[in-house]
Amino acid sequence: MTLRDDLPPLRDVIRRYGLAARKSLGQNFLLDLNLTARIARAAGPGA
């Protein structure tokens, strides 16, 4: 198990601490892990 496996989902952290992302501040959090994985694959190794 890696450190990343121990982290809670970002959605839960945002909710727990009452945070709110604002696009006007460039705070666009990727909450969909499938989308995050697709972006990482598209970037390719060494990107």
pLDDT tens series, the chain, 47 aa: 455 677 788 788 888 999 887 778 776 677 777 887 888 889 888 76
Whose structure tokens read 């705070």?
27
Give the pLDDT of residue 22. 78
**pTM of the full predicted structure?**
0.43
**CB neighbour burial string for 23-35, b if at least 16 within 10 angstroms, e if fewer:** eeeeeeeeeeeee
From the list 19, 1, 5, the residue with the least C-alpha distance to 33 is 5
Give the pLDDT of residue 36. 78
Written in H, E and C, the secondary structure of the chain is CCHHHHCCCHHHHHHHCCCCCCHHHCCCCCCCHHHHHHHHHHHCCCC
